[in-house]
Structure 1
Amino acid sequence: MRQTAMILGTEYRIEIHKWSEDKELSQNSWAGYCCSNFPLIVIADLDDEEHFWFSNEEEKDAYFKGCLRHEIIHAFLNESGLKDNFEHVNRMGHEETMVDWIAVQFPKIAAVYKELGIL
């Protein structure tokens, strides 16, 4: 899979990498990452049964979408000028709890906005 996403005027490549062949994924035990320098979003190959286990394809698909939403939030924060603006998170630049909250809650927020006609 190779796709792109336009994030606030910057085109990010979205790629699937084998966990064992990507140092960022394997050394950090990540399922994905966002790099604004290239710009690139990487999601681990979830078919790698050594590192990922799913009961069925629906579970794997839901996990993939959640990971991708999470990394897209990082991209939006990066492109908004918030790349390195968190003092307590020197290495990654974003507070992961906040990123997770936005990634998980955004579909619900978008549904309310759509229902109210305020998108």
Structure 2
Amino acid sequence: MIALPQHTRVYLALGSTDMRKEINGLSILAEGTLSLDPFSGHLFVFCNRSRSTVKILYWQRNGFCLFQKRLEKERFRWPETREQVMEIGLRDLSFLLEGLDFTALHPHRDLHYSTLL
């Protein structure tokens, strides 16, 4: 993939999406169904019913990019929830594309200190 700014957000369109949709159809879904701005520069991730194909829609300066990954044997570990959209991090997206269930991975908790002494 391309280098993305650190502040880039990733939105999963939960449920299944008709993979016949291309840039126009997916951008309409992002704006209409998910109530998000497809021109924001964030990533919008869609998956088909059989969980074998993922498409990622992304606006880059002067046009849309559409990435697709199709698995030949395995299935993506797509989250099951009643929500329409889920925000995840870039690392979680990488895990998802590699076939890992990112919802089951639990990293160490962040620590926040106010002083050194």
Give the TM-score normalised by structure 1: 0.29
Structure having the larger proportion of residues in strand: 2
Structure having the larger proportion of residues in helix: 1
